[in-house]
């Protein structure tokens, strides 16, 4: 499916915080903006600056892991559930360029109780998969108030 054929809707979330991935209040963060596809998956198009390089011209592996983690987290968040990463697995297939548009896609593959299993990938402008991730996210419930 081509980007211009997709029906993407902005994902509304309360990211008025300092989250490194999506928080607009973090001056050093990535400020990622996610969209929901008609099939329920999450999409993000972004350009990550050279400030986050490992090898010149390519993103640091930790930043790649962060991008995948954030995509999977927003996939769960898009269902109205707040969660935290329990397990994260990353496969680095090809270098991810800095300063160029990349596309991230995420989806939930399984749900059971408070657990959500997810997958994400990072693609280049030609839709070649550069990195993939799998994660287990656990729903975070508000702590009971102590009397």
pLDDT of residue 140 exceeding 70, the answer is yes
pLDDT of residue 4 exceeding 60, the answer is no
Question: What CATH number does the domain containing 128 carry?
Answer: 3.10.129.10
Res 52: pLDDT: 92
Please give the Cα distance from 37 to 10 (Å, whole number).
Answer: 9
pLDDT of residue 3 exceeding 60, the answer is no
In a domain, 71, yes or no: yes
In a domain, 102, yes or no: yes
pLDDT tens-digit map of 80-135? 999 999 999 999 999 999 999 999 999 999 999 999 999 999 999 999 999 999 99
Q: Mean pLDDT, the chain, as a whole number? A: 91
pLDDT of residue 73 exceeding 80, the answer is yes
Number of domains in the chain: 1
In a domain, 110, yes or no: yes
What contacts 67, CB < 8 A, 6 or more positions away? 21, 30, 32, 48, 59, 96, 102, 104, 122, 131
In a domain, 84, yes or no: yes
In a domain, 7, yes or no: yes
Structural domain that includes position 127: 3-139
Percent of the chain with pLDDT over 70: 93
Closest CA to 132 of 103, 99, 98, 111: 103
Please give the Cα distance from 89 to 141 (Å, whole number).
Answer: 24
Closest CA to 133 of 75, 94, 92: 92
In a domain, 145, yes or no: no
Rounded to two decimals, the pTM is 0.89
Residues 117 and 108 sit within 8 Å (Cβ to Cβ): yes
Res 17: pLDDT: 79
pLDDT tens-digit map of 9-29? 888 765 557 787 777 887 888
Res 125: pLDDT: 95
Res 70: pLDDT: 96
In a domain, 146, yes or no: no
What contacts 30, CB < 8 A, 6 or more positions away? 20, 21, 22, 46, 48, 52, 66, 67, 70
CA angle, 116 then 86 then 102, to 5°: 75
Give the DSSP letter string of 34-61: -EEETTS-EEEEEE--GGGBSSTTBB-H
3-state helix, strand, coil in the chain (%, to 5): 15, 40, 45
């Amino acid at each position: 499916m081509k980007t211009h054929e997709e029906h993407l809707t902005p994902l509304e979330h309360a990211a008025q915080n300092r989250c490194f991935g999506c928080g607009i209040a973090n001056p050093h963060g990535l400020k990622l903006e996610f969209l929901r596809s008609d099939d329920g998956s999450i999409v993000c198009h972004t350009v990550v600056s050279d400030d986050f390089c490992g090898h010149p011209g390519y993103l640091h592996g930790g930043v790649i892991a962060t991008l995948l983690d954030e995509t999977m987290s927003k996939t769960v968040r898009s269902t109205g559930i707040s969660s935290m990463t329990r397990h994260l697995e990353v496969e680095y297939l090809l270098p991810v360029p800095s300063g160029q548009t990349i596309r991230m896609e995420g989806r939930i593959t399984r749900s059971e109780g408070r657990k959500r299993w997810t997958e994400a990938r990072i693609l280049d402008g030609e839709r070649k998969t550069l990195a993939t991730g799998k994660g287990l996210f656990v729903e975070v419930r508000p702590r009971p108030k102590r009397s």
